């Protein structure tokens, strides 16, 4: 395996019915060398699409038990740009971003902090794919994420 080749491929996606609304996340973690693959999905009754995209990446990377070369494949520009560009600046600014000339707290700070920790523990390369454009694993993750929140649709607040 060439030194720049990924040891594992992590495909992720998040979805929401409404934004905010019920949401789902999913990942497929594949080890091409052994052919092993794991998949997981989950949901949140009141969330945003961006949170679900982050949860998918965090949950997938959390499965790795040792330093690993990872190719993170997602349709989320939010996750990719955040990792590649925004995180270093946010950390320098105390986990804040500039808005209207002043520093304000970043959204989803809890998930960004965890993603930052996980990315630092591995060698992660981000690859963006177009959503709903026929990429087999991205489409599979999308189906899994949507299926995860489907049982939440139609529920009324207060458990009814």
How does pLDDT run across 89-112, given as a tens digit for each residue? Answer: 999 999 999 999 999 999 999 999
What are the tens digits of pLDDT across the range 122-132? 999 998 887 77
Mark whether 101 is an active-site residue: no
**Model confidence at 155: pLDDT above 70:** no
Residue of 132, 134, 158, 159 with catalytic role: 132
CATH number reported for the structural domain that contains residue 32 in this entry: 3.30.420.10
132 among known catalytic residues: yes
Mean pLDDT of 21-36: 96
14 is a catalytic site residue = yes
Q: Answer yes or no: is 12 within a domain.
A: yes
Counting the structural domains of the chain, the total is: 1
Q: How many angstroms separate the CA atoms of 93 and 104, rounded?
A: 10
The single residue of 75, 82, 114, 137 carrying the catalytic annotation is: 75
pLDDT at 154 over 90: no
Q: Active site residue: 53, 71, 114, 137, which one?
A: 53
Give the Cα separation of 8 and 58 in Å (integer).
Answer: 15
What's the rounded Cα separation, in Å, for the pair 119 and 43? Answer: 23
Contacts of 10 (CB under 8 A, 6+ apart): 27, 28, 29, 30, 57, 60, 61, 70, 71, 72, 73
Residue 89 lies in a domain: no
Domain span at 37: 8-84+122-152
107 in any annotated domain? no
> Could you tell me which residue, 160 or 92, shows the higher pLDDT?
92
Could you tell me if residue 158 is inside a domain?
A: no
């Amino acid at each position: 395996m060439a030194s720049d080749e990924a040891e594992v491929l992590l495909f992720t996606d998040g979805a929401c019915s409404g934004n905010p609304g019920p949401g789902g996340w999913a990942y497929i973690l594949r080890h091409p060398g052994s052919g092993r693959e794991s998949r997981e999905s989950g949901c949140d009754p009141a969330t945003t699409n961006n949170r679900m995209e982050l949860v998918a990446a965090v949950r997938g990377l959390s499965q790795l038990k040792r330093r690993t070369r990872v190719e993170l494949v997602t349709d989320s520009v939010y996750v990719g740009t955040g990792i590649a560009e925004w995180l270093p600046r946010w950390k320098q600014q105390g986990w804040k971003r500039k808005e209207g000339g002043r520093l304000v707290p970043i959204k989803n700070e809890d998930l960004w902090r965890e993603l930052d920790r996980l990315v630092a523990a591995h060698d992660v390369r981000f690859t963006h794919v177009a959503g709903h454009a026929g990429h087999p694993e991205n489409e599979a993750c999308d189906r899994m994420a949507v299926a995860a929140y489907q049982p939440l649709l139609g529920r009324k607040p207060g458990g009814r």
